[in-house]
């Protein structure tokens, strides 16, 4: 039997303590909902750990846990700046070594994501609870497996709009339309070193986005898609020259 994919759900976990609307949607924290949703979708195929910003000096991310993580999910918003640079660098380096990273919603400004993108990751936003349709523009892509329609509809969402200041994605899976007229690249995949990064837009804290089965289906598919494979190879050092170099005197 194959080993379960080891997932670490990292969560800032601040809004739940300061905003009763968020606590009402996620009484045990957004990380608990993400863990439950992934376990519901993937069953024995996944072993989920959670870690939070205020857990300890390492934000719950010990070197051992980082080494033992196949895929990390990252949700942050109000406290990106409180994530220690050293930890952000370690997360980014683990991606280059083969760990998958799923960056959620306002995680577009998370330190590890910005390190891996190399851009400012700006976007437009508006919060009026408008309708969103996430159009699947890559039918047959593994991240869209099991979806019942060409799009996922969210009745109430925060709007994110283009331009989204990120490098051109290696794979573009979802493009969102919003009732206010904007569009946004909501599902993007990049390769960085031996690892993969999947950015998935939905997940504003005042809406029950991570209790939506279609959203959790996409995230479960994403976990499978960005997980390292048996032949994932991390190039951690310069490679020696292959063959015999010519001597300059020859």
- Among the listed residues 65, 28, 25, 61, the one whose alpha carbon sits nearest the alpha carbon of residue 47: 65
DSSP H helices, the chain, are 15-18, 20-25, 30-42, 63-67, 85-96, 111-117, 213-226
Quote the CA–CA distance of 147 and 93 in Å, as a whole number: 33
> Based on CB atoms, which residue is closest to Zn ion, 128 or 145?
128
Distances (CA, A) of 204 to 22, 74, 207, 236: 10, 13, 6, 36
How is residue 56 written in tokens? 């300890």
Least Å from the CB of residue 220 to Zn ion: 22
Stretch that binds Zn ion, among 128-136, 143-151, 155-163, 210-218 (CB under 5 A): 155-163
Quote the CA–CA distance of 190 and 78 in Å, as a whole number: 25
204 binds Zn ion (CB under 5 A): yes
> Based on CB atoms, which residue is closest to Zn ion, 87 or 159?
159
Stretch that binds Zn ion, among 80-88, 172-180, 189-197, 203-211 (CB under 5 A): 203-211
Quote the CA–CA distance of 189 and 187 in Å, as a whole number: 7
Quote the CA–CA distance of 26 and 200 in Å, as a whole number: 19
158 binds Zn ion (CB under 5 A): yes
User: Judged by CB under 5 A, how many residues of this single chain contact Zn ion?
Assistant: 3
Stretch that binds Zn ion, among 79-87, 128-136, 150-158, 241-249 (CB under 5 A): 150-158
> Based on CB atoms, which residue is closest to Zn ion, 73 or 106?
106
Stretch that binds Zn ion, among 21-29, 103-111, 160-168, 235-243 (CB under 5 A): 103-111
Least Å from the CB of residue 33 to Zn ion: 15
User: Could you list the residues that contact Zn ion (CB under 5 A)?
Assistant: 106, 158, 204
């Amino acid at each position: 039997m194959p080993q379960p994919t080891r997932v670490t759900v990292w969560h800032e976990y601040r809004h739940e303590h300061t905003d009763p609307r968020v606590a009402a949607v996620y009484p045990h924290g957004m990380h608990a909902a993400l863990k439950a949703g992934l376990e519901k979708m993937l069953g024995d195929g996944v072993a989920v750990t959670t870690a939070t910003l205020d857990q300890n000096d390492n934000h719950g991310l010990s070197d051992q846990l980082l080494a033992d993580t196949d895929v990390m999910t990252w949700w942050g918003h109000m406290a990106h700046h409180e994530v220690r640079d050293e930890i952000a660098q370690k997360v980014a380096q683990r991606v280059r070594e083969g760990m998958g990273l799923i960056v959620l919603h306002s995680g577009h400004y998370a330190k590890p994501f910005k390190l891996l993108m190399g851009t400012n990751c700006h976007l437009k936003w508006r919060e009026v609870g408008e309708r969103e349709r996430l159009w699947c523009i890559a039918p047959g892509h593994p991240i869209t497996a099991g979806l019942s329609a060409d799009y996922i509809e969210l009745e109430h969402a925060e709007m994110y709009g283009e331009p989204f200041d990120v490098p051109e994605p290696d794979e573009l899976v979802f493009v969102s339309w919003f009732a206010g007229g904007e569009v946004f690249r909501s599902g993007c995949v990049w390769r960085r070193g031996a690892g993969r990064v999947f950015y998935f837009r939905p997940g504003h804290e005042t809406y029950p986005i991570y209790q939506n089965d279609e959203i959790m289906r996409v995230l479960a598919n994403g976990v499978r898609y960005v997980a390292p494979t048996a032949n994932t190879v991390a190039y951690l050092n310069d490679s020696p020259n292959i063959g015999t170099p010519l001597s300059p005197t020859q």
